[in-house]
Amino acid sequence: MTESRRHQVELANMAGIIERLAGELALGEEPARFIAALEGLGLGEDEEEVEAPRDE
Amino acid sequence: MSDASLAGLAAGIRARRISPVEAVERCLARIRKWDSRLHAFIRLDEEGALEAARSLEADAAAGRWRGPLHGVPLGFKDLCHLHGLPTSCGTRMPEYFVSAQECSAARRLLDAGAISLGKLNMTELAMGAYGDNVHHGDVDNPWLAGHAAGGSSSGSAAGIAAGFFAGAVGSDTGGSIRLPAGCCGVVGLKPTYGRVSRAGAMVLSWSMDHLGPLAWTARDAALMLKVMAGRDPADATASRRAVPDYAAGLEGGISGVRLGLPENYFFEGVDEEIAAGVRQAARRLDGLGARVSEIRLPDPRAITDVAMLITRAEASTIHARVFRERPQDLQPMVRARLQVGFGISAYDYLQALRLRAKLTRAFVREVFAEVDVLLTPVIPESPPALAALKTATVDEFNTRAGRFSRLTRPFNGLGLPAISVPCGFTAAGLPLGFQAVGRPFDESLLLRLGHTYQEAAGWHHRRPAGC
């Protein structure tokens, strides 16, 4: 198999996987919910204290 | 604690048993003796290290302590940009990566008193699982000459095992901290996505890249992570969560901790010796108070495929210029992997990012309702002979490398913290290791588990005989 043909096969495989998995994605699903999952489901939730901006 | 560990060395310097200059000279002596075989360094900075050590020695004499790592020599993977030293990223171009921004994680370590010995060898563009590099020399395994050190943070792991420095910074996009840690018998921690800023480090895949510590012990990694972690205005993905004192919690034991051994995927196709080593470690952890059970996981192949697609698309985007303008300068394996990324559609890439969010939520909710920590092998086969890798075709090589990282890559996709801890040796004398994976931001438990295991098992008292 040529290099170009191998790449085409690999791309087609990846596209097939995504098509299969993405079939049941909810409309509300979007990439930023990944960070939200880590922060929301992670251990503890305390934030560092951040200095408030000073009035000049 | 011996002076061989980072914690022991830091304590020795603070107690004035050893000076920063002596610490650096000890490291340099070992590097001069052994690095012609190991190739851990791309750029050794002897003069810079000695100058920094003299300055820190004067500070110590005057009672000025810069921080918890005062006088401790470290190494930095050559994708961490530090002013004054070029950043090749493992390519043949010394200044491949130029940045106005220093690597925040490395800078924090230096500001805490650490000394930079220089920049460490790595797989070209951090794209590879074995630590081979045609431009800077293949990194050799300190435990068995002629075998892979693992990649891509190969110099970081090999240098710690050889006693070249007390700790190192590595990066991990598909396993590049944990794989070399597993191959070289040291501790490597990939923190939660966002726990450590990536600012000032070369990007391979902004969605999957993590920076983290490699060290001889879990205690050493805890000390480094405390300094490296935390919010950073230069990296919008860096979490604002408070950074715990990881070392303070190490002695709490693991009584009642629920450990899960996966029934599916993680022990499939794994060398019997490696699987047996992990199960033996699980029994020891059970004896130390953990509650070990088997668990069936949501199929990790889905997140692995998603992570691979995202990594390829982003890597090709970031490194498009060198691919198009100087392809002959890249190793054929790297070129082939980049080539595929250019063909990924925006539709597939964005669907993969949406899937990642869904898969992560489902995995965390389902798995961590039942267990606190997952225990798996790090690598599926012993570090291969470097000579065997050289005879493989590009296709064979990349297929094998993909298999080699199949146990670590899922946790880049999921963004979960994962630590590699040594747990013995094969009959041939190569290290065995386990991977422990926790809830988001639960690095404290992983470090405590690693520390508890190391103190009981004692494998970290062994050093490679060859160096």
Question: Is there a contact between B440 and A39 if contact means CB atoms under 8 Å apart?
Answer: yes
**Chain A residues within an 8 Å CB radius of B343:** 7-8, 11
State yes or no: cis peptide before B152, omega within 30 of 0: yes
CB B380 within 8 A of CB B274: yes
B309 shares contact with chain A (CB less than 8 Å): yes
CB contact (8 A) between residue A45 and residue B241: yes
Give the closest of A29, A44, A48 to B357, CB-based: A29
B370: tokens are 């039942």
- Angstrom distance (rounded) from CA B396 to CA B103: 35
Does the pLDDT at position B128 exceed 70? yes
Q: Tokens for B195?
A: 């726990």
| Per-residue model confidence as pLDDT tens digits over B309-360 | 999 999 999 999 999 999 999 999 999 999 999 999 999 999 999 999 999 9
Q: A38 and chain B: CB distance < 8 Å anywhere?
A: yes
Distance set, CA B359 to CA A24, B115, B303, B363, B411 (Å): 12, 41, 7, 6, 11
pLDDT of residue B2: 62
B306 inside 8 A of chain A by CB: yes
Task: Determine the distance from the C-alpha atom of residue B157 to the mean position of all C-alpha atoms in its chain, rounded to a whole number.
Answer: 7
What counts of helices (H) and strands (E) characterise chain A? 2, 0
Name the percent of chain B lying above pLDDT 90: 98
What pLDDT is recorded for position B355? 98
Cβ–Cβ < 8 Å for B125, B176:
no
Cβ B357–A32 below 8 Å, yes or no? yes
Location of structure tokens 């990642």: B356
pLDDT band at A53 (very low <50, low <70, confident <90, very high): very low
Q: pLDDT (tens digit, 9 = 90+) per residue, B213-231?
A: 999 999 999 999 999 999 9
> Within an 8 Å CB–CB cutoff, is residue B295 touching chain A?
no
pLDDT at A51: 46
Exposed e or buried b per residue across B264-302, where buried means at least 16 C-beta atoms within 10 angstroms of its C-beta: ebbbeebeebbbebbbebbeebeebebebeebebbebeb
Alpha helices (H) in B39-170, listed in sequence order: 46-61, 104-111, 154-161
| Nearest chain B Cα distance for residue A55, angstroms | 21
Which residues make Cβ contacts (< 8 Å) with residue A40, sequence separation at least 6?
none
Query: Per the structure block, which two tokens stand in for B234?
Result: 């230069």
Catalytic residue flag (residue B444): no
Give the one of A7, A29, A34 whose C-beta lies nearest to B339's C-beta. A7
pLDDT band at B179 (very low <50, low <70, confident <90, very high): very high
Residue (of B255, B75, B273, B48) closest to B168 by Cα position: B75
The answer to whether residues B211 and B234 touch, using CB atoms and an 8 Å cutoff, is no
Using CA coordinates, name the residue in chain A closest to B440. Answer: A42
Q: Give the model's pLDDT for residue A49.
A: 47
- Is B88 among the catalytic positions? no
Contact predicate B170/B221, CB 8 Å: no
Answer yes or no: is the ipTM higher than 0.95: no
Any CB–CB contact under 8 A between B399 and chain A?
no
Q: Is it the case that residue A48 has pLDDT exceeding 90?
A: no
pTM reported for the whole predicted model: 0.96
Please, are residues B308 and B409 in contact by the beta-carbon 8 Å criterion?
yes
Separation of alpha carbons B15 and A51, rounded Å: 35
Task: Read off the pLDDT band of B162 (50, 70, 90).
Answer: very high
Which among B193, B239, B309 has CB closest to A14? B309
Q: Are B169 and B76 in contact (CB under 8 A)?
A: yes
Q: Is B249 on the interface with A (CB under 8 A)?
A: no
Name chain A contacts of B344, Cβ cutoff 8 Å: 11, 14
Task: Average the pLDDT over B143-153 and give the result.
Answer: 98
pLDDT tens for B26-70 read: 999 999 999 999 999 999 999 999 999 999 999 999 999 999 999
How distant is the Cα of B442 from the closest Cα of chain A, in angstroms? 6
Query: Chain A residue with minimal CA distance to B238?
Result: A35
- Position B218, amino acid: A
Summary mean pLDDT of chain B: 97
Measured between CA atoms, how close is A54 to chain B, in angstroms? 18
